[in-house]
Structure 1
Amino acid sequence: MSDESRPHRTAAVIPAAGRGVRLGPGAPKALRTLGGTPMLIHAVRAMARSRAVALVVVVAPPDAAATAEVRRMIDEHALPERTEILVVPGGETRQESVRAGLDALPADITAVLIHDAARPLVPVDTVDTVVEAVRDGAPAVVPALPLADTVKEVEPGRPGEPEPVVATPVRARLRAVQTPQGFDLATLRLAHEKTAVDGEGATDDAGMVEQLGVTVVVIPGHEEAFKVTRPLDLVLAEAVLARRRATDAY
């Protein structure tokens, strides 16, 4: 079968092996509840709601007990039946976990989304737009928003000490990148093969693709696709979810 006649099947990989220490002590960030439901379940639903996504691979913490717990949790929550859900153990870094998710994809997958479990409220329209851009020929696509604040580049110093400004980037050229990031699968696999795990590993898959010399394109993001990283983010996410439920939009 030629590349042109191959069916386009898209999968989503959700790395959820991290602990998310900035949210404070307790369960790993992906397992914290939002509206009574773990954030990870919200993230899986966000991917599964897209009819373009045939498979969701959840990358759990590497130990067998944690992987089994994530599988049990997914089985306990209602998810679209048309979407297959796999759970696989991850690695010690996000890069290793994403690679584990890619290794679990079946041979008929041609495009992949990489989505943060900590972005539980991304709208399905954003997911669909990313998939469409990849299917239209873009090898790498990221949703992003313009910045509201002026950004300063500084010379890092010790915590709490003043830091000298070294540059002020032009704000009009900057974007705050979100997920899901979408890729031609072969391109992303090549990026992971070429990028060695150094320290904590790469935290941005699009950045790895950029290192190949491949153009990454930006599509409009959505303000509700923010990352739940700190306690105040969780308060905002609860408010967004409550509004959606009140308007039957969720």
Structure 2
Amino acid sequence: MSERLWLVVPAAGRGRRMGGALPKQYLALEGQPVLAHTLARLHQAFPAARLCLCLDADDAHFDPAWVPFGQWRRSEGGSERADSVRRALEAIADDADADDWVLVHDVARPCVRVDDLVRFYAALKRNPVGGLLATPVADTMKRDDGRRHVASTEPRDGLWQAQTPQGFRYGLLRRALGEARVRGGDITDEASAVEALGLAPLLVPGRRDNIKITHPEDLALAGHILAAQRDEPPSSPGHLHEETP
């Protein structure tokens, strides 16, 4: 089986929920754009990987100097995340083999830990389907009635909050996203497209500080998380989780 690794980072979003003048991937975080932090984390974990960065065709903010990878290419993003990832897979089709691994990571998750990335990839390689980083739901979950009143309380046992990266073999992921496009409907992540094929991706426990910057207050929180991660003693591995075989 192939040991070649591709990284796909969708970064074509316009950050409407942030409400700022810049897309969230270009907002300043400790003096660097969010995108630069995210790519640096991925490079620390996988320096030999090949990167495909999905950018808006009219992106005027991107600077190639932020990319630390030696082998990388740019692909045109789509209107939705799944469209961007699908286009990235098409862009690498001439070079990727069906059994190459592809890890898709949100550009707005700059706090993912390097050891979580390495541990995640190791867990994937022992699994025939692929999987995703995720955390068990800790809070009580409420379902509304469409009018912002509680309709029911959902049991949280067995519920997980999906994170990224999400990783699958190239051939499987391209098939899953292709069939999802034909079926229509809302595909919010790669795992849901694979699930629609009748497969069960592996849930690899990750840390809760792998937050996604979505709302304005998340940017400040990400800054605090990065500072806290730097201040951790080098001898402290943090709280590691056991993977499901």
Query: TM-score by structure 2 length?
Result: 0.85
Q: Match for 1:9: what amino acid? A: R
Shift of 1:19: 1.0
Work out the CA distance in 1 between the residues paired with 2:172 and 2:184: 23
Which residue does 1:135 correspond to in 2? 125
List per-residue Cα deviations over 1:163-198 (Å, max 9, x = no partner).
Answer: 241x32221211111101111111111111101278
Q: Does the C-alpha gap of structure 1 residues 181 and 145 become closer, same or farther in structure 2, counting only changes over 3 Å?
A: same
Work out the CA distance in 1 between the residues paired with 2:14 and 2:182: 19
Candidates 180, 191, 194, aligned match of 1:195: 180
Work out the CA distance in 1 between the residues paired with 2:67 and 2:197: 40
2:74 is aligned with 1:87: yes
Q: Which deviates more, 173-182 or 145-154?
A: 145-154
Which residue does 1:163 correspond to in 2? 149
2:120 is aligned with 1:117: no
Q: Does the C-alpha gap of structure 1 residues 192 and 238 become closer, same or farther in structure 2, counting only changes over 3 Å?
A: same
Which residue does 2:52 correspond to in 1? 57
Work out the CA distance in 1 between the residues paired with 2:51 and 2:135: 25
Is 2:104–2:167's contact at 8 Å kept on the other side of the alignment? yes
Is 1:142–1:217's contact at 8 Å kept on the other side of the alignment? yes
Same amino acid, percent of matched pairs = 35
Shift of 1:220: 0.8
* C-alpha RMSD of matched pairs (Å): 2.3
Shift of 1:62: 2.3
Which ranges of structure 2 fall in alignment gaps of 5 or more residues?
235-245
Shift of 1:95: 1.3
Candidates 88, 96, 103, aligned match of 1:107: 96
Is 2:8–2:105's contact at 8 Å kept on the other side of the alignment? yes
Candidates 8, 12, 25, aligned match of 1:30: 25
Q: Does the C-alpha gap of structure 1 residues 42 and 104 become closer, same or farther in structure 2, counting only changes over 3 Å?
A: same
Q: Does the C-alpha gap of structure 1 residues 199 and 243 become closer, same or farther in structure 2, counting only changes over 3 Å?
A: same
Q: Secondary structure at the match of 1:14?
A: strand
List per-residue Cα deviations over 1:204-249 (Å, max 9, x = no partner).
Answer: 1100110000111101111221111112111111112223445597
Shift of 1:152: 1.4
Candidates 217, 224, 245, aligned match of 2:209: 224
- The alignment of Structure 1 onto Structure 2 pairs a total of residues equal to 231
Work out the CA distance in 2 between the residues paired with 1:245 and 1:142: 25
Q: Match for 2:212: what amino acid? A: K
Shift of 1:101: 1.2
Which residue does 1:96 correspond to in 2? 83
Which ranges of structure 1 fall in alignment gaps of 5 or more residues?
none
List per-residue Cα deviations over 1:50-75 (Å, max 9, x = no partner).
Answer: 13751111100123xx1x642xx132
Query: TM-score by structure 1 length?
Result: 0.84
Q: Which deviates more, 140-149 or 110-119?
A: 140-149
Q: Does the C-alpha gap of structure 1 residues 197 and 59 become closer, same or farther in structure 2, counting only changes over 3 Å?
A: farther
Q: Match for 1:163: what amino acid? A: H
Work out the CA distance in 1 between the residues paired with 2:169 and 2:12: 24
Shift of 1:41: 1.1
List per-residue Cα deviations over 1:73-109 (Å, max 9, x = no partner).
Answer: 132x472x5x422222212221111111111222247
Work out the CA distance in 1 between the residues paired with 2:41 and 2:90: 22
